[in-house]
Amino acid sequence: MSLYTLTPKPGSERYTIQVGWNPHRTYFPTVVDFTWDPVTEPRHEPDTIHLGRIETILDPAEVLLAVEPYAEIPADLPARLRADQTEHPVRR
């Protein structure tokens, strides 16, 4: 399994953004705001992205597209994710 934490873009500092490869079956992206308090900010619910939990994602471009509005994407990250998949193929 791989996990990369990305740098938020300006305006998205409240989010923790991660992408990675789970050799059980899929790439996954996650965008979460761990600081949000529904009691003090009930009308400002943050965006949340969790993909790859039910559906299988085998193209790293799909997860990078999901987090691109929130995070800086290092130029070498697509290649690193593909290498992770190659080094740890889907378990059957």
- pLDDT for position 51: 93
Residue-number span of the structural domain to which 59 is assigned = 2-87
Q: What is the pLDDT of residues 48-86, one digit of tens each?
A: 999 998 899 999 999 999 999 999 999 999 999 999 999
Classify residue 80: in a domain, yes or no. Answer: yes
- What number is the average pLDDT over the span 5-27? 94
- What is the pTM assigned to this prediction? 0.88
**Mean per-residue pLDDT of the chain:** 92
- Bigger pLDDT: 73 vs 89: 73
Cβ–Cβ < 8 Å for 73, 12: no
pLDDT at res. 92: 64
Number of separate domains in the chain: 1
Plot region of 64 (φ>0 → left; ψ -120 to 50 → alpha; else → beta): alpha
Contact 18, 1 (CB under 8 A): no
> Rounded CA gap, 21 and 9, in Å?
22
Q: Say if 92 falls within a structural domain.
A: no
